[in-house]
Amino acid sequence: MVAEALDRIGLLCERAGEDSKLAPRADAARAAALRLKASINTPGDRDSARVEVMQTVDGLMRAIWVETEALDAEMADRWSAIQLLALVAIGLGVLAWALFGIAFRRSNELEEAYQKLASVLEEAQASRAQAQSASDAKSEFLATVSHEIRTPMTVILGRVELLRTTTLTVGQTGHLDVIDRAGDQLLQLISDVLDLSRIEAGALHLHPTDFDLDGVLDEILLLFRAPAYGKGLQLRREGSRFGTVQGDAGRIRQVIVNLIGNALKFTVQGGITLRGRREQGEVILEVLDTGPGLPAGMEEALFDVFQQADSSPSRSHGGAGLGLAISRRLVEAMGGRISAANRPEAGAHFTVRLPLEIVAEAAISEELEVDIAPPEEEQGPRVLVVDDNDDTREVVGLLLQSLGCRVTRAAGGAEAIDRAHADAYDLIFMDCDMPGIDGLSTTSSLRASDGPSARCPIVGLSGYATEDAKQRALESGMDDYLANPIRLGGLRAAVEKWTGADGSFPPGAL
């Protein structure tokens, strides 16, 4: 039994020796057990071996106890760490869930915000489309109303001018003056409202081309020559010649016509000067008058919509206050600037600066200083008037006859083609909006023919005072365009321009 016990001790020591920390004591106890087993039949050796076994086994047991205590402490630490990790994991899980909830709610909020934004954008687009539709409808309405007003205005104002050629009393002349001024104001108001409507709707389109700026300025002075001399005012052009420039001739003409028209309205004695010069790559056009000048502090406000130099009910000059506002918008659309100031001596001074490219220099380089001669008696060019409206055709013909023209009338496109194929005319006034063969088709047909009037200048007449209508007329082969109401001054300027019947400016005078 002792041997078996020693074998079990040795086995236990061997198993304990598997732990590196217990191996030395386990090996010593196993060796002592083996020695005790070998000396079990020898009394002296057996006692000492027994003592050694007891001591080594006791040491081993203590070492095992110490190791067990260390292991228990380590396990406790590990368990604490495991618990701590578990708590951290639980905390992270709770945090992750909370973040998921926040993200989910945020996602819902973002989705709701997106839906609201999409709804707002959809409403904005619908509102924009509605506003655009309303703007288009307004523009179409204004164009239609303008056309319908301008056509009878041609008859009314034309008859007024014809009455002036008859013998009248002083009172009758005064009545005609009132009708004339009211008609002019109505016509200008219609034109200004149409222009302002197009500008505000973003429908203002520029048409830059190469054109003779000096020629345009000369035409403007021709337009105002008769009314200026009728008031006893002198017209003058001075400064630089420009030659051929690139820009929108029609819009530049509109701006300068408005400035000279204002000067003519407010100036009662002296004169009006159109001055031109070049400075730092800009074309500078100035209109100076000898009128009453501008009210102090109004230099900028004059360019606001519906603003006037004198807005009191007792003002002596009419107008809706749109001309200068439109002029500023036109000039700015062309990349330029417009300003107003008082002249040191007397009168107003308007300056237009435009970045126009000089395409070709003027043939004559010296500066101008020319007084515009008063109008002379017109000669008698042969003129064909084409219009389906009996009253308009009659009035335009009578006005031309008062200018000394020999007038032939045609009531439609087919009759006009027949007459133009049969006779040579110096000038044709063609209604653009006739039923059947309209004026544009009639013009194209005449241009394609080889008749005696195939190359005759043709001036379009229409109630549509729009740039698009004018452009279509010019593209059909017409040379010029007049919008209703047709006035004697407009007819005179067209006759002078296209027939030279007035003995206009001699070559090189301007």
Cβ pair 495, 405 in contact under 8 A: yes
- Closest alpha carbon to 230 in 374, 101, 446: 374
Q: Is residue 59's pLDDT more than 80?
A: no
Q: Is residue 385's pLDDT more than 90?
A: yes
Q: How far apart are CA 29 and CA 415, in angstroms?
A: 144
Q: What is the pLDDT of residue 481?
A: 92
Q: Check residue 485 and report its DSSP letter.
A: S
Cβ pair 473, 481 in contact under 8 A: yes
Which is more confidently placed, 102 or 415?
415
Indicate the pLDDT class of residue 47, thresholds 50, 70 and 90.
low
Q: How far apart are CA 258 and CA 264, in angstroms?
A: 10
For the segment 358-364, the average pLDDT, to the nearest whole number, is: 74
Q: What is the pLDDT of residue 475?
A: 92
Q: How many CB atoms lie within 10 A of CB 218?
A: 20
Which is more confidently placed, 273 or 162?
273
Q: What is the pLDDT of residue 384?
A: 94
Long-range contacts of 447-451 (CB under 8 A, 24+ apart): 447/477, 449/417, 449/420, 449/421, 451/420, 451/421, 451/422
Q: Is residue 26's pLDDT more than 80?
A: no
Domains of the chain, first to last: 208-375 (3.30.565.10), 376-510 (3.40.50.2300)
Q: Is residue 369's pLDDT more than 70?
A: no
Q: Is residue 133's pLDDT more than 60?
A: yes
Indicate the pLDDT class of residue 506, thresholds 50, 70 and 90.
very low
Percent of the chain beyond pLDDT 90?
13
Q: What is the pLDDT of residue 158?
A: 77
Q: Is residue 224's pLDDT more than 70?
A: yes
Q: What is the pLDDT of residue 147?
A: 62
Q: How far apart are CA 304 and CA 321, in angstroms?
A: 8
Q: Which of 192-206, 207-221, 238-252 has the lowest mean pLDDT?
A: 192-206
Q: Is residue 329's pLDDT more than 70?
A: yes
Which is more confidently placed, 308 or 213?
213
Q: What is the mean pLDDT of the chain?
A: 77
Q: Is residue 316's pLDDT more than 50?
A: no
Q: Which of 136-140, 276-280, 370-374, 502-506 has the lowest mean pLDDT?
A: 502-506
Q: What is the pLDDT of residue 66?
A: 62
Q: How far apart are CA 303 and CA 348, in angstroms?
A: 14
Region of 321 please: left (phi>0), alpha (psi -120 to 50) or beta: left
Percent of the chain beyond pLDDT 70?
69
Q: What is the pLDDT of residue 80?
A: 73
Q: Is residue 351's pLDDT more than 90?
A: yes
For the chain, percent helix, then strand, then coil, each to nearest 5?
55, 15, 30
Q: Is residue 375's pLDDT more than 50?
A: yes
Cβ pair 472, 440 in contact under 8 A: yes
Indicate the pLDDT class of residue 510, thresholds 50, 70 and 90.
very low
pLDDT tens-digit readout, 258-315: 899 888 888 888 889 999 888 888 899 999 998 888 887 777 878 776 555 554 443 4
Indicate the pLDDT class of residue 504, thresholds 50, 70 and 90.
very low
Q: Is residue 505's pLDDT more than 50?
A: no
Q: What is the pLDDT of residue 168?
A: 76
Question: Averaging pLDDT over each range in 47-51, 236-240, 382-386, which range is the top one?
Answer: 382-386
pLDDT tens-digit readout, 484-495: 878 888 898 899
Q: Is residue 243's pLDDT more than 70?
A: yes
Q: Which of 198-212, 340-354, 446-460, 465-479 has the lowest mean pLDDT?
A: 198-212
Q: How far apart are CA 215 and CA 405, in angstroms?
A: 25
Q: Is residue 40's pLDDT more than 60?
A: no
Q: Is residue 77's pLDDT more than 80?
A: no
pLDDT tens-digit readout, 431-484: 998 888 999 999 999 999 888 888 999 999 988 877 888 899 999 999 999 888
Q: Is residue 194's pLDDT more than 90?
A: no
Cis before 485 (ω within 30): yes
For the segment 112-126, the average pLDDT, to the nearest whole number, is: 81
For the segment 384-402, the average pLDDT, to the nearest whole number, is: 87
